[in-house]
A and B are shown apart, each in its own frame.
Chain A
Amino acid sequence: MPPDPRLLALFGRLARGAGMFAVVVGVLVLAGWTWDIVLLKSIVAGLASMMPNAAVAFVLAGVALWILPAGGRRGGAPLACSTAVAAIGLLTLLEYLLGWDPGIDRVLFAKAVSAAGGAAPGRMSFAAAFLLLLNGTALQILALPGKRGSAVAAVLGFFALPVSASAVLGLAYDVDALYRVPFFGTIAVHTAILCLVLSGATVLAAAVRDESSLITSGGAGGIMLRRLWPMSVAALVVLSGLRLYGEEAGFYTFEVGLAIMVVLAMIVLTMLAWMTASRLDRVDAARKRTEDELRDSRRRLEDVFASVAEGIVTVDEDYRIVLFNPAAEQIFGRSREEMLGQPLGLLVPERFRAQHEKHVRAFAATGQTKRSMGRYGMIYGLRANGEEFPIEATISQAGTAHDRLFTVILRDITERRRAEEEIQRLNAELEQRVIERTAELEAANKELESFSYSVSHDLRAPLRHITGYINLIEDQLGKLDEETRRRLDVIAASAKRMGTLIDDLLEFSRMARTQIQHTEIDLATMAGQIILELRPEYEGRQITWRVGEIPMVHGDHAMLKLVLTNLISNAIKFTRSRPHAAIEIGAVAEERSDAVTVFVRDNGVGFDMRYVDKLFGVFQRLHTEDEFEGTGIGLASVRRIISRHGGRTWAESQPEVGASFYFSLPRHPQPGPEGKR
């Protein structure tokens, strides 16, 4: 299991704290020697003192420990310090073993240490020297560059731990026997404690260095080790001490004490094992939960990945395919197995490959997370069968600088392309057809224009001649009999009527051909003017005129004037038989509508609603010429003009009661059926 980063930080801090502690104690002891302070040299008068060279070694080891776990550069100060520590330990051991005295014991405070007496004045205990050698060597290994040897350093530390613990325990339990072992000799209290601290710190420092160390492991083993080991050791130490004190105080005999201790140890160790196991179980359960969630979320992702309609292709830094979803399989006609590990270029037509790779690389350089592809033109994919097809795609990148993944999400737009091309083709065709039709219409229009020009000239001339020659005949013959006169009048009247018909027809055809000039028009005012202009038509008659309010409309002034003139003129004509005619012009109130509906209402003879359909037709008349004169073109013109304005025309009537003619106009100009020409 990888190390738990929080533990690494904690252990590092502990090791550095221990180093700081060693430096402080060492410096205090040296101060004690300088000013002969017993408390600092020996803690309690009569006990062994920490020797000056041991204090120096602790200071150096402390410095090495302070620097090492900080993770700075190797070698340098820590290596020099730890080497000095190991050297001091080794030389002292050699002194003991070889009886050789190079004088290192009395380098500092020679007089003071000599005064303290002893077999070898100023020499530290054998145990202290041994422990300094072990720890010094371990720190040396840790101070070397590279991570190899961290395990060896840990072993050295682990070995130093029980040894130093024995010394501390000996002092704590006040075991004289332990002191009398030459190995321990007369070790000072704080020397023993510092050795223990130093050994522990070495183990921690080694653990921080070694990523595979069990102590810092985030796994179950690490947890068990960190919980069970220090607690059980501590339990044993405490229980043993209690037992010893109890025995010495005479609370129980040796056997009873042993029994009590074994029982207590069993209880404590069982509890520790239980607690540790339960903790491990919890950790395990949590991990299992996390794993399940991970699996679920992975499955969901895979489902999405497998079910989307878009092809998803993910490539690594080297543009080799690492993911290829089913949609991509279908689009490219290649299987996942076949494509994994293959270069992305395989999916791009040969001629685009270099360009494509350049663009992907450029995209990688931008650091953008995503963008749509094809900004430099249409992009194409290549199917297994060599067929090229247009695609639409986005590319995204994720991951770290060293482990970057590019994901292309794409869809085959062949169909859409085809549809678009079809639409374009149809549009072009339609446009062509419109052009042709317009040309045809223009030609027809031209023809119509020249036709009406001819009509205007050539059809009217004979009529004029007829009336003219009748007049000549009349002049020539002088007095005519009644019947001949009447017949000549009929000829003249017919010719005249024919002229009117031609004029109206020409006007009607002009209404179809002239372009609409849109202006804003006040129909009510216009109606007032028309009523005045038509006065000769109703001279001497009694007509009640009513012109209501009409909203402003948009339309062609001349054309709409013709509409109103025709309708009002009709109303005048068809109320002729009424002693009191009433003609009303106004608008139908329509709040929401976009259209304005105008009516012209009269109390005239009206018409039969059965023939309402014929009303607006050309040459359609509902009355005989004898009853009411007319050409049957007026209302046809009205309908044509209104329909060209995008409006509607209709009429209502009750015979002998009156008639209402309606037309609607859009409030705002709009491209009507013939709005644009």
Chain B
Amino acid sequence: MTVFRHVLLVEDDPRDIELTLNELKKHHFVNQIDVVRDGQEALDYLHRRGKFAGLPERHPAVVLLDIKMPKMDGIELLRHMKSNAQLKTIPVVILTSSKENADTQTCYQLGVNAYVVKPVDFAQFAAAVREIGVFWVLVNEPPPVQ
């Protein structure tokens, strides 16, 4: 519990960011939530390049990933991460409005760790975000640092 864990949220919609952050922060088990607005930015973040060049060398406990985003979308980013030796061990949870079977299938084939459809009802949404946070940050054992 004392381990410093942080979460990366990849989401383009500021309202979703606000609601998600609000929910995650409400329960104080996440020290740090970094937000990037599209897949390209997320890659820069994960590879610590560009404006993220100075970041300390550590991976997030989990990446919460939206699918529909400008520039590089979530599936693109997922594909990139899972085919990259350094990034593929990072747990990825798709957090999306999409209920399309095709998307679900693609994501699981690419090796996603969880796929969550954001419920319209806020109470359910809040519950989902909370549970994701608790599970991946507190319950789940991260991969060993190489």
Contact = CB atoms under 8 A, between A and B. Distances in A.
A526 interface: no
Interface stretch (A349-357, A459-467, A657-665): A459-467
A461 B13 contact: yes
A137 to B, nearest CB: 121
Interface string B116-137: 0011111101100000000000
Given A453-B100, A456-B98, A465-B15, A470 B67 contact: no
Interface string A197-212: 0000000000000000
Interface in B88-131: 96-100, 118-123, 125-126
B122 A470 contact: yes
B125 A464 contact: yes
A451 to B, nearest CB: 12
Contacts, number: 60
Given A456-B99, A472-B22, A467 B68 contact: no
B19 interface: yes
A356 B142 CA distance: 90
A464 B118 contact: yes
A469 B15 contact: yes
Given A461-B13, A461-B16, A492 B97 contact: no
B67 A457 contact: yes
Contact of A468 (B97, B99, B125): B125
B105 to A, nearest CB: 13
Residue picked from A458, A468, A472, A496, most chain B C-beta under 10 Å = A468
Interface of B: 13, 15-16, 19, 22, 67-68, 96-100, 118-123, 125-126
Interface of A: 453, 456-458, 460-461, 463-465, 467-472, 492, 495-496, 498-499, 503, 506
Contacts of B100: 453, 456
A104 B52 CA distance: 159
8 contacts: A456-B97, A456-B98, A460-B97, A464-B19, A464-B97, A465-B19, A468-B125, A492-B121
Given A465-B15, A465-B16, A468-B15, A457 B122 contact: no
Nearest to B119: A464
Given A464-B120, A467-B125, A468-B15, 17 more contacts: A456-B99, A457-B98, A458-B68, A458-B97, A460-B120, A461-B15, A464-B16, A465-B15, A467-B120, A467-B122, A468-B19, A468-B122, A468-B125, A495-B120, A496-B121, A499-B121, A506-B99
B122 A503 contact: no
Chain B contact surface mostly: loop
Contacts of A463: 120
B76 to A, nearest CB: 15
A492 B99 contact: no
Nearest to B19: A468
Given A457-B67, A461-B13, A467 B121 contact: yes
Contacts of A498: 120
Nearest to B22: A472
A464 B98 contact: no
Contact of A472 (B19, B67, B99, B120): B19
Given A461-B16, A464-B120, A467-B120, A503 B126 contact: no
A453 B22 CA distance: 28
Contacts of A472: 19, 22
B96 A457 contact: yes
Interface centre among B16, B22, B122, B126 (most CB of A within 10 A): B122
Contacts of B119: 464
Nearest to A514: B101
Given A457-B97, A464-B97, A468-B19, A496 B126 contact: no
A492 B120 CA distance: 9
Contacts of A470: 122
A486 to B, nearest CB: 17
A456 B126 CA distance: 20
A471 B16 CA distance: 13
Contacts of B16: 461, 464-465
Contacts of B122: 464, 467-468, 470-471, 492
Q: Which 6 A-B pairs have the closest CB atoms?
A: A499-B120, A467-B122, A468-B19, A465-B15, A460-B97, A471-B122
B35 to A, nearest CB: 16
Contacts of B99: 456, 503, 506
A75 B125 CA distance: 131
Nearest to A462: B15
Contacts of A453: 98, 100
A461 B67 CA distance: 12
Among B19, B99, B120, which residue has the most Cβ atoms of chain A within 10 A?
B120
Nearest to A500: B120
B120 A471 contact: no
A460 B120 CA distance: 7
Contacts of B125: 464, 467-468
A495 B119 CA distance: 11
Contacts of A499: 120-121
A469 B67 CA distance: 22
A266 to B, nearest CB: 127
Contacts of B15: 461, 465, 468-469
A456 B125 CA distance: 16
B98 A471 contact: no
Contacts of A468: 15, 19, 122, 125
A467 B119 CA distance: 10
Contacts of A503: 99
A319 to B, nearest CB: 74
A470 B122 CA distance: 9
A465 B17 CA distance: 10
A496 B123 CA distance: 11
A456 B104 CA distance: 13
Nearest to B20: A468
